[in-house]
Amino acid sequence: MSKPTSSHAYGIGVIAIIVALSASVVFYTSFYLPESLAKPSVDEHVLHPLEETVIEMIPGSADPDQQDNFVPKLVNVQLGIDNHIIWNNVDTTPHTVTPDHRAEDSYSGPFGSTGVVKAGEKYEFVFTEEHEIDYHCEPHPWMKGKIIVTKARF
Count of C-beta atoms within a 10 Å radius of residue 7: 9
Here's the x/- map for Cu ion, 14-53, by CB under 5 A: it reads as ----------------------------------------
Closest distance between Cu ion and the C-beta of residue 28, in Å? 48
Using the rule CB under 5 A, is 55 a contact of Cu ion?
no
Q: What whole-number distance in Å separates Cα of residue 20 and Cα of residue 142?
A: 61
Using the rule CB under 5 A, is 136 a contact of Cu ion?
no
Closest distance between Cu ion and the C-beta of residue 93, in Å? 6
SS3 (DSSP) at 80:
coil
Considering the complex, state which of residue 84 and residue 140 has its C-beta at the smaller distance from Cu ion: 140
- Report in angstroms the alpha-carbon separations of 36 from 32, 39, 45, 72: 6, 6, 17, 36
Which region, left, alpha or beta, applies to residue 96 given φ > 0 means left and ψ of -120 to 50 means alpha? beta
Nearest Cα neighbor of 53 from 140, 123, 136 is 123
Using the rule CB under 5 A, is 84 a contact of Cu ion?
no
Considering the complex, state which of residue 129 and residue 138 has its C-beta at the smaller distance from Cu ion: 138
Number of chain residues interacting with Cu ion (CB under 5 A) = 4
Binding residues for Cu ion, rule: CB under 5 A, are: 95, 137, 140, 143
